[in-house]
């Protein structure tokens, strides 16, 4: 191998090492929140957790769970009890995870998000769906 090949190999190795370093360093910037499966969600609710629907108003037109509070996605409500257990859900789990992370950053001690999304919840007979008129 010539010096150009060694130089290129060294560049690739240092790039990979650098990327791995940055991933390790910045991975912890997002607070850890648990993603709950359906049975875990039911356990949390039995333990007194509040269910937050973080979907949009347009999505609420397709139905709301009577057990949930329609909060929407965006700024956090001005008063959040840091001791209250909260589980967020949306359509797919992306916004609910982000909202749960924001709650954690704001000082909530026990927050999680539902992995399955609204459509999974409305199919379960444990939850009551309300269709707004």
pTM as predicted: 0.75
Same domain, yes or no: 89 and 120? yes
* pLDDT for res 95: 94
Q: Tell me what the pLDDT averaged over the chain comes to.
A: 87
Same domain, yes or no: 107 and 60? yes
Res. 112: pLDDT tops 90: yes
Same domain, yes or no: 94 and 122? yes
Res. 74: pLDDT tops 80: yes
Same domain, yes or no: 2 and 47? no
Same domain, yes or no: 17 and 43? no
Same domain, yes or no: 53 and 18? no
Over the stretch 4-48, which tens digit does the pLDDT of each residue have?
Answer: 677 777 778 878 877 777 666 666 566 789 999 999 999 999 999
| Residues spanned by the domain of 39 | 34-130
> HEC profile for 1-41?
CCHHHHHHHHHHHHHHHHHHHHHHHHHCCCCCCEEECHHHH
Q: Domain of 78: which CATH number?
A: 3.40.250.10
């Amino acid at each position: 191998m010539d010096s150009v090949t060694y130089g290129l190999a060294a560049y690739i190795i240092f790039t990979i090492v650098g990327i791995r370093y940055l991933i390790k360093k910045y991975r912890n910037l997002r607070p850890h929140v648990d993603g709950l499966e359906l049975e875990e969600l039911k356990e949390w609710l039995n333990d007194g957790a509040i269910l937050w629907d973080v979907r949009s108003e347009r999505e609420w037109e397709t139905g709301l769970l009577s057990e949930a509070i329609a909060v929407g996605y965006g700024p956090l409500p001005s008063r959040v009890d840091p001791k209250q257990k909260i589980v967020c859900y949306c359509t797919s789990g992306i916004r609910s995870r982000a909202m749960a992370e924001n709650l954690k950053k704001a000082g909530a001690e026990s927050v999680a998000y539902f992995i399955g999304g609204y459509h999974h919840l409305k199919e379960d007979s444990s939850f009551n769906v309300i269709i707004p008129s």
